[in-house]
Structure 1
Amino acid sequence: MANVTLAPAFANDTRRFGRVALVHDWLVTYAGSEKVVEQILQLFPQADLYSVVDFFPESQRGALGGKHATTSFIQHLPRARRSFRHYLPLMPLAIEQFDLSAYDLVISSSHAVAKGVLTGPDQIHVSYVHSPIRYAWDLQHQYLAEAGLQHGVKNWIVRSLLHYMRIWDQRTACGVDAFVANSAFVGRRIRKVYGSEAVVVYPPVDVERFQMRTQHEDFYLTASRMVPYKRVPLIIEAFASMPSRRLVVIGDGPDLARASAAAACNVTVLGYQPDAVLADYMQRARAFVFAAEEDFGISVVEAQACGTPVIAFGRGGVREIVVESPDPERGTGLFFSEQSVASIVDAVERFEQHPALRPEVCRRNAMRFTTERFRREFLSVVERAMDASEAFASKPPTRQWRSA
């Protein structure tokens, strides 16, 4: 089914779903989680949108169907546009202030607090979880180290706030009728943190906008937001130690200065580039290098859609995207086992000696993550949640026995 006909075919029947609310943590940039919101709105175009803050670029608001979100009091606090994350301790309170009692179906798109909205016993709440709050759960110690908050008074203040966030986050899991995870990796996080099972529905990737190339040039590519956990400077350091291997780096963010400082003459740091430029480099690169422990990894899918193999850190959701295999009909990349210079260098050298990975196999593998598949599978989860609720409501009440 083509994308142009999919949305009308899957659009909700109001007699079936009633009034629908879609709650997202915050609307600031058009990134991976916002692409999920975009596709959910394609399925439920009449849904009302809620978010802690909405500073979404007006030039890209078409992705939200032109909608503006109903926002919380944080929207109006000082410097919220630039520093809304500083108000994280207030976000549980903010998300609980949304009055959603008029809706029959509530969908949350959550990587922080959205799943904590309050719903009643006659409402269905389906939560698409990009991840439980990473910096409050298993990655707390890593985030504290990256922020330089391992010692002192600030360290204990932040640890206390994260402890509070964990208690609140776990408690609000009881208000969700159906969890959806963006990868099996995140599904395991959900089971460990919330004690609930989740259905895996991979995020939508617009693979059709990437063209496959069968001939690649003699350079490697890495592209991502320049934030610490992406480990872009680490990749640059690895290639700086391999002067015969050329690396191109695309992306912007807090780590850009550090990345540029680590670059050697064989490393070109381009900073932010438009989508068309990024796609061009992806199509021409010898391989795409990825060093983050990511919940999913949309850029890894996009690279393979270009016919470009991937060299990746072998932990997290990327293991569900890249296939490491000696079989030429299956293999799409290689993994390295540690986030270290030596491990990346070893993987690149192994890649150079490895039989050529075939572009058409990479492309075929990427086609597992289409927007069509996302819509179909997500709608199926919502329908099953509705069916389960209706079946439960139709059961006769349990008889209460009084003791003599």
Structure 2
Amino acid sequence: MKYALVHEWLTPKATGGSELVVKDILGHINADLYALIDFESTNPQSYLYGRQIGTTFLQNFPKARNGVQKYLPLLPLAIEQLDLRDYDIILSSSHAVAKGVITRPHQLHICYCHTPMRYAWDLTFDYLQDSRAGQGVLGILTRYLLHRLRQWDVISSNQVDYFIANSQHTARRIWRCYRRSSKVIYPPVDIDRFSFQTQKEDFYLTVSRLVSYKKIPLIVEAFNQLGLPLVLIGDGPQLELVRQMAKSNITILGGQPNSVVEQYMSRSKAFVYAACEDFGIAPVEAQACGTPVIALGTGGALETVKDIRKFTKNGTGILFEQQTVESLVKAVETFCEIGHQIKPDNCRLQATRFTPKIFISSYLAFLDDCRLSSVGKSSPNKISFL
């Protein structure tokens, strides 16, 4: 069998959960790698250094290295230009357009979906509100382009034979957007790089890219009111905003290397998370350190964090119901009262549910099931693994 693996983009700035999935798959499957753009094969620090990677015409576009998303209207066209005729099995790792590669009837296409395209679906109005492209006449054009993008997104889902979702939350979104069933396989979290520590220091921590949907200003305002010590690690467009907002009890470190993040995670009293994520790796990493999590009780957090008020024997954190300052303040106050009941051992144990070993074992087993089920079947789409 000849394999191709397709991902959206490969750049030094793209180091999130979807890239970890690509790395683990390549560690166990001999696949040729394709992407819209590639700036990792020339990066000496990357595990992809020196690897031959197929790309699209966007590779040579101005400033593509700093974010190919600026060419959003061209992404569907670009991904369809990848010629994968010579492969038996197509594996895609998709959070935007990677699943839209053109395949032939004899080929098997399995998509690991991190999320249906956020800016075309759930976060459309957030992006329009926060962007100049959402205003005036340009805003009308942008809305039309997003409308066409949604149409393409649904049509391109028919190129996929089997979907894998990174959480139950994502599986529901795949069904809502594409009316397709999916198998849930949680992404790999390298918990071994985090040291387990039972003795905690008197500060709270949040680590995040400083972009709008992460709701970091909400966390800053809540701790402004609480007056409790908070350390914020991360970089992004909202860095100056949170610096202007933060009172003296909040320490903003900006972007930091992994070694610094790991130290703060292991020492912090609790990890604070206010985003609605499809999965959310950071809360799992915090629990790997034995650190409790205070998180918004929607999305992936419902599957990775156990609220101590519900799971009295093995709880790992506190979940708050609404994405508001008031709700987070109340959750932190509740943690101050009953957080001592959360045992670091239970946090670490919860994190072990999401190891790379479990991920790749489940992924390879599902791949084998798909191959066997597709033999002699003209329409593998009809097979459901839910």
Global fold match (TM > 0.5) = yes
Contact 1:111 1:129 in 2 (8 A): yes
Structure-2 residue corresponding to 1:227: 211
Secondary structure, aligned partner of 2:78: helix
1:315-354 residue CA offsets vs partner (Å, 9 max, x unmatched): 1111100001334432001111122211111110010011
1:147 has 2:125 as partner: no
Contact 1:30 1:60 in 2 (8 A): no
The Cα shift of 1:391 comes to 3.8
1:362 has 2:347 as partner: yes
The Cα shift of 1:150 comes to 4.8
Work out the number of aligned pairs and report it: 375
Structure-1 residue corresponding to 2:188: 204
The Cα shift of 1:101 comes to 0.6
1:120-169 residue CA offsets vs partner (Å, 9 max, x unmatched): 11110000000010110122112211225554111111111111111111
Structure-1 residue corresponding to 2:99: 115
Instruction: Kindly report the root-mean-square deviation, in angstroms, between the aligned alpha carbons of the 2 structures.
Output: 1.6
The Cα shift of 1:59 comes to 3.4
Structure-2 residue corresponding to 1:320: 303
Q: What letter matches 1:122 in structure 2?
A: H
Of stretches 375-384 and 318-327 in structure 1, the one that deviates more from structure 2 is 318-327
Of stretches 28-37 and 216-225 in structure 1, the one that deviates more from structure 2 is 28-37
Contact 2:285 2:351 in 1 (8 A): yes
Aligned mate of 2:357, from 372, 383, 390: 372
Structure-2 residue corresponding to 1:6: none
1:5-404 equivalent positions in 2, closer than 5 A = 18-28=1-11, 29-44=14-29, 46-56=30-40, 58-62=43-47, 64=48, 66-243=50-227, 245-326=228-309, 327-356=311-340, 357-392=342-377
- Higher radius of gyration, 1 or 2: 1
Q: What letter matches 2:271 in structure 1?
A: F
Secondary structure, aligned partner of 1:58: coil
Secondary structure, aligned partner of 1:52: strand
Contact 2:43 2:49 in 1 (8 A): no
Secondary structure, aligned partner of 1:49: strand
Contact 1:225 1:252 in 2 (8 A): yes
Q: What letter matches 2:123 in structure 1?
A: L
**Aligned-partner Cα distance in 1 for 2:39–2:147:** 29
Label 1:387 to 1:274 Cα distance change in 2 as closer, same or farther (>3 A).
Answer: same
Contact 2:128 2:135 in 1 (8 A): no
1:88-131 residue CA offsets vs partner (Å, 9 max, x unmatched): 11111111111101000100000000000011111100000000
TM norm structure 1: 0.90
**Aligned-partner Cα distance in 1 for 2:262–2:52:** 30
Secondary structure, aligned partner of 1:118: coil
> What fraction of aligned residue pairs are identical, expressed as a percent?
49
Contact 2:96 2:117 in 1 (8 A): yes
Q: What letter matches 1:156 in structure 2?
A: I
